[in-house]
Amino acid sequence: MPRYYFDLRDDTGVALDEEGLELASWRAVQAEAAKSVADMARDAILSAPAAGGRQTMAIDVRDARGPVMQVKFSFAIETFRTPAASRDH
C-alpha cells in the first residue's frame, strides 16, 4: 500500500510530515487532505485576532516519487462591530 505524506503549509512556513499514512485509494488520500486542512482552518480561525485579515493555508500531499496533490484554504475575518457581551467586560 502506498504511503502518503501530508505537509502543512501556512503563512509562517511548512511543517513536514515525517511519518505519513498508508492509504489504499486516491479517495482516501483526498479525504485525509480535506480533514487535515479543515483542522488547520478551525485552529487558525479560533486563534486569529478579530480583525485577522486574510490567511491562506494548504496541505501538500506527496508520496515517495514527489508531489501528488495540494489542497488550499483561504479565509478572512472582517469585524463590523464588537459583540455586546464583549463591551460589558
**Which residue range(s) make up the domain with 33?**
3-78
> Is 86 among the domain residues?
no
Q: What is the pTM of this model?
A: 0.79
The yes-or-no verdict on residue 88 having pLDDT over 60 is: no
> Is 30 among the domain residues?
yes
φ, ψ of residue 83 to 5 degrees: the values are -60, 145
Structural domains counted in the chain: 1
Question: Residue 83: what pLDDT?
Answer: 67
62-72 burial: b if 16+ Cβ within 10 Å, else e: beeeeeeeebe
Reported residue count of the chain is 89
> Is 43 among the domain residues?
yes
> Is 36 among the domain residues?
yes
